[in-house]
Amino acid sequence: MSLDTLIVIDGNSLIHRAFHAIPLLTNSQGVITNAVYGFTNMLLKILNEQEPGLVAVAFDKGKITFRHQDYADYKGTRKATPDELRPQFILARDVLRAMRIPYFELEGFEADDLIGTIASQAEATGLNVLILTGDRDALQLVSPKTKVLLTRKGITELEIFDEGKVWDKYGVTPSQIIDLKGLQGDPSDNIPGVPGIGEKTATTLLKDYGHVEEILAQLDHLSPRLQKLLRGKEDIALLSKKLATIIRDVPMELDLSECSWRGPDQHKLLELFKELEFKSLIKQLTNSPASKKEKTSSNKLVSNLPELETYQVGYQTVTTQEERDEILVQASHSGKVALLLTGVRGQGIAAFYLAVPDQDIYLLRVADDLDSNLTVLRALCENSEIKKIFHDAKDAIWLLQQQDIVLKNLYFDTMVAAYLLNPTAANYDVNDVALEHLNIILPAEGETALAAQAESILRLGKVLYDKLAERDEDRLYQEMELPLVQVLAEMELAGVAVDKQGLKDMSAELYQAIETLSARIHELAGENFNINSPKQLGQILFEKLKLPVFKKTKTGYSTDAEVLEKLAEEHEIVALILEYRQLAKLKSTYADGLAALVDAKTGRLHSTFHQTVTATGRLSSAEPNLQNIPIRLESGRRIRKVFIPRQRGNLLLTADYSQIELRILAHMSQDNSFLEAFRLGQDIHTRTASEVFGVPLDLVTSEMRSRAKAVNFGIVYGISDFGLARDLKVSRQEAKSYIDNYFARCPGVRRYIDRVIQEAKTQGYVNTLLNRRRYLPELFSKNFNIRNFGERAAMNTPIQGSAADIIKLAMVKINKELKEQQMQAQMILQVHDELIFDTPETEVETLIKLVRECMENALVLDVPLDVDIKLGLNWYEAKPI
DNA sequence: ATCAGATTC
DNA sequence: ACTAGAATCTGAT
């Protein structure tokens, strides 16, 4: 720290430099931020390096300064400030306010003059001064107590000038800089100078005579050449010098104490950085203590400034029985707690943190006293009078279940709430949610970090709920997403029974088939190579075998299925490769991949259903993903045989919504053709074909139907003629005529799409039927492709997301009914528009009624929701009853 | 860590 | 310049 140092910054100069050094950046709202970003970066860097006691920034104010009175063309060669830059000066001032750095500006004066004045006054009080600027004029201010930091190329490098350095570089003293300019001029400020005098002549003259005035007084003693150059130019020389001279006594009140720096206002700065989307700077502010040791420049800022220290919260480690009793009393009394459990699924709970409103945070390490501490946890969780708040309650339910603890009164899940508020966040770690919604930086690791998280979870409960209510997402949360947490936990815990021997058998069969195929492929290629390597495969196909290249990837030849299908005619190796790929996928991902994830204890697959992953509101499934089990091709479909009921006497029942997305489209668009088709129970693709091709329903061929089907898909995804043409393998023109026809016959759909995109552009987000919201900053991108993507997402999200709403609603209803009717049947999977149950044969009839009722009436639309139900001894065998 | 390619709805 | 929405997993580099 150098408390006796004042840093004075030339705001205009730095912002201009930054603007030209950094390519145009924008945030998602289209606000251009490159200059203010660069400026802020420089600011943080210099503060971090110098750790000054005082800071001030100066700006120009007013187009006309006193210099213009002397010389109208002063700065006459300057270009007007670009439109992209002007608003950034305002943003820079916002940054300074958040940094709590005072800035000065005075009508009719340039930043330089204010800097000169501030520097003089600071020197007078004995302070050291450091001037940060990109403008070499400032070198005239260098003195024993004042140094200048000049930006070099770009903005990252700084060069420090003291008196010696000025002399080395210019051959003059700082006070002679203005004389230098008086003689030489300065094209950048349009200061004329004396024609014919350049750097060399000027410095020689100044060495001999000191200053311009002296030179002019001694004109007669100069060489004839110099006399000729200077005579009659006295006024220009003196004027030029005057223009270059920084005023050091601007009439301003300056209280240096205003400049003493206490560090930034953490909240404001974070909010501003978030608004401007300065992700790397936010990261610097939120950096973990561990990474502070590294010497990345700005981390020091965090540790040195009290205001930026991470959020701390005290906690007590509970060890005695009295303390345990006491916290139970506190929890019962308050009726609400936040709980943070640590531990790993399958390994039990390591510790738990308890946050009780208006009390300390308590840490109970399970290992300290296993029985007593788990008793406390059980008492808390199983007491239905105490409301429980978790971040990722589903994970907590898993952990608790392993200790046979049942969670009652799940009151809030901050992770799920944060997801609803922004379904496109990269992750929902407590620290990031707290940063986003509480504007605090939590410590990164250790017990302190976890205690702070527990405390934050408690506070987030209210904050997030209020935000949800504000945008009418509270019912979505309350009646659907929160209850769904419990439903999903039960599905995961129940798991899916699999025939492990069946998987092994398939693996062995696949191994044989793959061996045979690869031998044949290597033979045809004339050499051994790794067929799994797109790179090696590309070399074989396109270099050795000289097959035609249709498509390239970033890194080389494309060898995807689309390409290989086109090449199948050319060489018999190609079909074999396609088959190889198919089998290799089946073996690695499915036969072997699934086998590896069968739980040793239960003998089942316990996939995780992620509730906070997708942008649209769908669930996702992982470890293993049970939402992409093959079905399209028979060879893959056979994998489904290994998915079996949990016990003898049970069956698998599947229930899937028929055409749910197109029904939602019908409902939302109110398109007459679609409404009628669904109300009459017509096959929607046949109906569409009849419309598009202008033939009666009974004359629609299967070819026509399949094309219409592709068009319907295209509509849901946000159609383009190109994409449709590729899919249907027809000309782009033909594809376009399908689309035109489609919109002509279904004008309601056209209007709906236009309306959704329009609304998205005015609101910045789209909604599903149940008010799930997705923001689409892509709509405002300058990039054509990104913008188009935004438009397609605007069309697709309400449809896909509403379908997700509906099935989630059905799941909650069904689970409730199954419990109330005390049935054995268990929901085990959800595959976007399909639910799968493991049920005793004896319950099948009841279950079908229940499931059909709940799914078809989950939400009443203007078209019926049809559900197809199938039953079987395994997933493969499931057939309509 | 990223890419290419596969699988699903 | 690129081109249909949403995902997860594997193997190669």
Among residues A870, A877, A875, A872, the alpha carbon closest in space to that of A848 is found at A870
Check residues A849 and A85 and name the one with the higher pLDDT: A849
Bridge partners, A58 (sequence order): A10, A104
Report the SS3 class of residue A871. Answer: strand
Tell me the percentage of chain A whose pLDDT exceeds 90: 55
Residue of A660, A625, A622 whose CA lies nearest to A801: A660
- Is residue A131 a contact partner of residue A148, using CB atoms and an 8 Å limit? yes
How many other C-beta atoms lie within 10 A of the C-beta of residue A203? Answer: 18
Q: What is the pLDDT of residues A603-613, one digit of tens each?
A: 999 999 999 99
pLDDT in tens, A643-680: 999 999 999 999 999 999 999 999 999 999 999 999 99
Protein CA A849 to sugar C1' B9 (Å)? 25
Q: Which nucleotide has the least CA–C1' distance to A613?
A: C7
Footprint of strand B on the protein (CB under 7 A): A 534, 538, 553-555, 557-562, 564, 578, 581-582, 585, 589, 627-633, 636-637, 831-834
Q: What is the rounded distance in angstroms from the CA atom of residue A527 to the CA atom of residue A544?
A: 10
Categorize the per-residue pLDDT at A194 as very low, low, confident or very high, splitting at 50, 70 and 90: confident
Q: What is residue A286's predicted lDDT score, i.e. its pLDDT?
A: 64
What is the rounded average pLDDT of the residues A385-408? 96
Q: Is residue A605 part of a domain?
A: no
**Per-residue confidence band for A288, with pLDDT thresholds at 50, 70 and 90:** very low
Q: Looking at beta carbons, which pairs linking A421-426 to residues 24 or more positions away fall under 8 Å?
A: A421/A464, A421/A467, A421/A468, A421/A473, A422/A775, A423/A612, A423/A614, A423/A615, A423/A616, A423/A617, A423/A772, A423/A773, A423/A774, A424/A615, A424/A774, A424/A775
Nucleotide nearest to A719 (CA to C1'): C4
Q: A22 with A87, same domain?
A: yes
Is the same domain home to A123 and A19?
Answer: yes
Classify residue A160: in a domain, yes or no: yes
Q: CA torsion sign, A29 to A32 to A38 to A39? A: negative
The HSE-up count of residue A44 (CA atoms within 13 Å, CB side) is: 26
Read off the CATH number of the domain in which A441 is found.
Answer: 3.30.420.10
A723 CB less than 7 Å from any atom of strand C: yes
Tokens of A172: 């003059």
Can you tell me the distance from the alpha carbon of A442 to that of A459, in angstroms, rounded to the nearest whole number? 13
Q: Name the DSSP class of A308.
A: G
Tens of pLDDT along A817-826? 999 999 999 9
- Return the DSSP state at A836: E
Q: Is residue A520 part of a domain?
A: no
Give the type of residue at A422: N
Residue A154 is predicted with a pLDDT of 62
CA of A772 to C1' of C3 (A): 28
Residue A136, amino acid: R
The answer to whether residues A282 and A353 belong to one domain is no
Same-domain check for residues A284 and A334: no
Confidence class for position A297, pLDDT limits 50, 70, 90: very low
Taking phi first (over 0 means left), then psi (-120 to 50 degrees means alpha), and beta for anything else, what does residue A724 get?
alpha
The model's confidence at residue A153, banded by pLDDT at 50, 70 and 90, is: low
**Rounded distance in angstroms from the CA atom of residue A535 to the C1' atom of nucleotide C12:** 9
| Chain B bases having any atom below 7 Å from a protein CB | 3-9
In a domain, A506, yes or no: no
Q: Is the same domain home to A147 and A289?
A: no
How many structural domains comprise chain A?
Answer: 4
Query: Quick one: pLDDT at residue A225?
Result: 78
Distance A584 CA to B7 C1' (A): 12
Establish if A558 belongs to a structural domain: no
Considering only CA atoms, which residue is closest to the C1' of nucleotide B4? A534
- Residue among A12, A11, A37, A13 at smallest CA distance from A24: A37
Report the run of H or E that residue A464 belongs to, with start and end.
helix A447-470
Assign A215 a pLDDT band (cuts: 50, 70, 90): confident
Q: Please report, for residues A47, A485, A860, the alpha-carbon distance to residue A812 in angstroms, rounded to integers and kept in the order given.
A: 55, 9, 16
d(Cα A786, Cα A455) in Å, to the nearest integer? 39
Q: Give strand C nucleotides closer than 7 A to any protein Cβ.
A: 1-13
Please list the residues that pair with A10 across neighbouring strands.
A58
Give the separation between CA A719 and CA A713, rounded to whole angstroms.
Answer: 8
Nucleotide closest to residue A556 (CA–C1'): B4
Q: Which two tokens stand for residue A319?
A: 């060890």
CA A627 to C1' B5 (Å) is: 18
CA–C1' A641–C11 (A): 26
A434 three-class SS: helix
Round to a whole number and report the distance in Å from the CA of A544 to the C1' of C13.
Answer: 21
User: CA of A491 and C1' of B8: distance in angstroms?
Assistant: 20
Nucleotide nearest to A538 (CA to C1'): B4
Distance, in Å, from the CA atom of A276 to the CA atom of A500, rounded to the nearest integer, reads 53
Rounded CA–C1' distance between A176 and B2, in angstroms: 57
Residue A293 has pLDDT above 80, yes or no: no
Q: Is there a single domain that holds both residue A67 and residue A216?
A: yes
Q: How many Å does it take to go from CA A774 to C1' C6?
A: 13
The CATH code of the domain that includes A163 is 3.40.50.1010
Residue A476 lies in a domain: no
* Nucleotide whose C1' lies closest to the alpha carbon of residue A715: C4
At A37 the pLDDT is 86
> pLDDT of A432-454, one tens digit each?
899 889 988 888 888 999 999 99
Rounded distance in angstroms from the CA atom of residue A585 to the C1' atom of nucleotide B8: 13
Strand A387-390 to A410-413 pairing: parallel
Give the domain-ending residue among A766, A797, A828.
A797
The protein residue nearest C10 (Cα–C1') is A589
pLDDT category, A76, cuts 50, 70, 90? low
Residues A448 and A394 in one domain: yes
pLDDT grade for A1, boundaries at 50, 70 and 90 = low
Q: What nucleotide is nearest A615 when CA is compared to C1'?
A: C6
Cα separation, A660 vs A653, whole angstroms: 19
Please write down the long-range contacts of A661-664, taking CB distance under 8 Å and 24 or more positions apart: A661/A716, A661/A799, A661/A800, A661/A803, A661/A833, A662/A712, A662/A716, A663/A861, A663/A863, A663/A864, A663/A865, A664/A769, A664/A798, A664/A799, A664/A802, A664/A803, A664/A806, A664/A861
Residue nearest to nucleotide C9 (CA to C1'): A589
Contact between residue A253 and residue A296 where contact means Cβ atoms under 8 Å apart: no
Burial of A499 (C-beta count, 10 Å sphere; 0-12/13-18/19+): middle
Burial of residue A601 (CB within 10 Å: 0-12, 13-18, 19+) is exposed
Could you tell me which residues come within 8 angstroms of residue A568 by beta carbon, excluding any fewer than 6 positions away?
A: A574, A575, A578
Residues A245, A377, single domain; the answer is no
**Nucleic strand C contacts from chain A, 792-821, CB < 7 Å:** 792-793, 796-797, 800
**pLDDT over 90 at A179, yes or no:** no
A736 touches strand C (CB under 7 A): no
Task: Supply the pLDDT for residue A605.
Answer: 95
pLDDT in tens, A321-353: 999 999 999 999 999 999 999 998 888 899 999
CA of A535, C1' of C13: distance in angstroms: 9
Co-location of A29 and A145 in the same domain: yes
What residue is closest to B8 (Cα–C1')? A628
Looking at the fold, whether A83 and A214 belong to one and the same domain comes out as yes
A279, exposed or middle or buried, with CB in 10 Å at 0-12, 13-18, 19+?
A: exposed
- In this complex, the nucleotide whose C1' atom is nearest to the CA atom of residue A629 is B8
Q: Which residue is nearest to nucleotide B3 (CA to C1')?
A: A555
3-class DSSP assignment, residue A805: helix
Strands of A604-742, DSSP E: 604-605, 608-610, 620-622, 643-644, 650-657
Q: Is the CB of A775 under 7 A from strand C?
A: no
- Cα separations (Å) of A681 from A451, A733, A810, A872? 58, 32, 22, 26
In this complex, which residue's CA is closest to the C1' atom of nucleotide B7? A628
Angle A471-A472-A476 from CA coordinates, rounded to 5°: 125
Q: With a 7 Å cutoff on the CB, does A533 touch strand C?
A: yes
A662 CA to C8 C1', in Å?
A: 25
A625 nearest nt, CA–C1': C8
Looking at every residue in chain A, the average pLDDT score rounds to 88
Contact A38, A159 (CB under 8 A): no
- For chain A, what is the radius of gyration of the CA atoms? 36
- Cα A400 from Cα A384, distance rounded (Å): 15
Asked whether residue A833 is assigned to any structural domain, the reply reads: no
In this prediction, residues A238-258 reach a mean pLDDT of 83
Same domain, A231 and A358: no
Q: Residue A298: pLDDT above 50? A: no
**Domain-located, residue A881:** no
Q: Are residues A29 and A156 in the same domain?
A: yes
Round to whole Å and give the CA distance between A67 and A373. 78
Residue range A513-553, pLDDT digits in tens: 999 999 999 999 999 999 988 888 988 999 899 898 888 88
Residue A635's nearest nucleotide, by CA–C1', is B7
Domain that holds residue A455: 315-413+427-461
Is the shortest CB-to-strand distance from A768 to strand C under 7 Å?
no
Q: Write the DSSP symbol of residue A540.
A: I
Q: What tens digit of pLDDT does each residue of A746-770 get? A: 999 999 999 999 999 999 999 999 9
The SS3 of residue A588 is helix
The residue with tokens 């986003």 is A436
pLDDT at residue A301 is higher than 50:
no
Say yes or no to pLDDT of A302 above 60.
Answer: no
What would the pLDDT profile of A155-170 be if each residue is shown by its tens digit?
A: 667 888 888 888 888 8
| Beta bridge pairs of residue A133 | A150
